[in-house]
Structure 1
Amino acid sequence: MADLDPILWDLPTAIYTDRLLLRPPQVGDGELVNRAIKASFDELHKWLHWASKMPSIEESEVEVRKAMAQWILRKYFRFYAFADEETFVGVVTIYEANWDVPAFEMGYWGHTNHSGHGYMTEAVGAATRYAFEFLKAKRVEICCDPDNERSPKIPERLAYTFEGNLKFSEPKEDGSGVRDTLVFARYDLESLPEFGFGLTPRLA
């Protein structure tokens, strides 16, 4: 259990890796997030409940500001990932915070136009390191739909432990029945790739 209320923790708000900047949402980000959702919608709506319909820019901005509030409240920690500090490539969220452990779940989605470059593996790896180093995590969990072939490849590349398949555990996003859930977890930073993790920009 944390000795000090996590809301009082002074947490870093930017992560730099070899290729990426990860930062929290900011006012005005709704437009760039909305563009990414639009470009990636054909994939996103298959797997994510919030992508059942295409949001408006205003709706995306509402979600941005909610995420800003949740960061302050230490309910969840959303990072937007940028290649070369300006090209938006995806989102990673550390959520389901259980501060009594502490333990967290990790969720993510990538911009379709920038897939195939390993950006999301790098982003999730950096967020994992952040959770252990700064949120004092004892456990970080990633849950995947087994029908989404790309999603579980990320925890596999990051040497997460496969804990098992929860049979018939979640409703399918299209309402056609129920699905299984693949559960991966990490308990420390052992063998996690570093990806040049740091809190200051890398020198060119």
Structure 2
Amino acid sequence: MKPIMLSIPESFESSRLLIRAARWGDGAGVNEAVLESLAELKPWMPWAQHEPTLEESEVSIRRSRLEFLERSDLRLLLYNKETGQLVGSSGLHRINWQSRRFEIGYWVRTSCSRQGYITEAVEAITNYAINELQANRIEIRCDSRNTSSARVAERSGFTLEGILRNEACDTEGNLRDTMIFSKVRGVEY
């Protein structure tokens, strides 16, 4: 099976969100959301350690577009259907097409946090992975200190499988523990 040959829908919806693949030109909206949210993203996201330029954001979007087309990473942008505002970003990462394993990552812009958008997106993306991509395993990984991220996984029905101690370095270079949540075909769905 060659992943590049897969026909994958580029957009889908939840009750409040349009969830779609990144497109050329999306960099300005992403840049605005990242700049607004930099203080909240910085502790958790290695890519949020400095203010990105418009060009850097557009380069990131264009890379994501190419990766989506190659099926090597499926970055998805989250838009409020009513206002058209970019709410955040998510996607399916660290893909193993042979075993049909995917990892959901996510972040929300500060002005849209604590409104349930990310939980809604995670549930919709989980359904997309199950129904469109025949996922056998879906993971959410987060720093054990990132309680907001862990709560999203729990609210979305993911099971905490374990905590990998001193598994990775945080954004300041210190060792951190990583929580691994999952949903597995035949168990949770």
CA distance in structure 1 between the partners assigned to 2:186 and 2:129 by the alignment: 10
Pair 1:50 & 2:47 matched: yes
What residue in structure 1 maps to residue 68 of structure 2?
Answer: 71
Q: Which has the higher contact order (CA 8 A, sep 6+)?
A: 1
Question: Which of 77, 92, 111 is 2:90 aligned to?
Answer: 92
What residue in structure 2 maps to residue 114 of structure 1?
Answer: 112
- SS class of match (2:149): coil
* CA shift digits 1:138-187 (9 cap, x unpaired): 00111011111101011100110110111110112112x20100000001
What residue in structure 2 maps to residue 195 of structure 1?
Answer: none
Paired residue type of 2:112: H
Structure 1 residue ranges (4+ consecutive) displaced by more than 6 angstroms after TM superposition: 189-192
* CA shift digits 1:40-80 (9 cap, x unpaired): 00011111111111110100000000000000100011110
- The TM-score with structure 2 as length reference comes to 0.95
CA distance in structure 2 between the partners assigned to 1:180 and 1:191 by the alignment: 25
What residue in structure 1 maps to residue 38 of structure 2?
Answer: 41
Question: Which of 99, 102, 105 is 2:100 aligned to?
Answer: 102
CA distance in structure 1 between the partners assigned to 2:8 and 2:178 by the alignment: 31
What residue in structure 2 maps to residue 20 of structure 1?
Answer: 17
Q: Report % sequence identity.
A: 37
CA distance in structure 1 between the partners assigned to 2:85 and 2:154 by the alignment: 26
What residue in structure 2 maps to residue 172 of structure 1?
Answer: 170
What residue in structure 1 maps to residue 123 of structure 2?
Answer: 125
* CA shift digits 1:74-132 (9 cap, x unpaired): 00111100112511101012011111101011110001101111001001111111111
- How many aligned positions are there? 188
CA distance in structure 2 between the partners assigned to 1:97 and 1:180 by the alignment: 22
CA distance in structure 1 between the partners assigned to 2:32 and 2:65 by the alignment: 19
The answer to whether the 8 Å contact 1:170/1:178 transfers is yes
What is the deviation of 1:6?
2.1
Paired residue type of 1:31: A
What is the deviation of 1:189?
8.5
CA distance in structure 1 between the partners assigned to 2:187 and 2:57 by the alignment: 37
CA distance in structure 2 between the partners assigned to 1:65 and 1:73 by the alignment: 12
Paired residue type of 1:56: T
- SS class of match (2:127): helix
Pair 1:142 & 2:136 matched: no
The answer to whether the 8 Å contact 1:132/1:189 transfers is no
Question: Which of 151, 154, 170 is 1:153 aligned to?
Answer: 151
1:6 and 1:184, CA in 2 relative to 1: closer, same or farther beyond 3 A? same
1:191 and 1:102, CA in 2 relative to 1: closer, same or farther beyond 3 A? closer
The answer to whether the 8 Å contact 1:21/1:82 transfers is yes
- The TM-score with structure 1 as length reference comes to 0.88
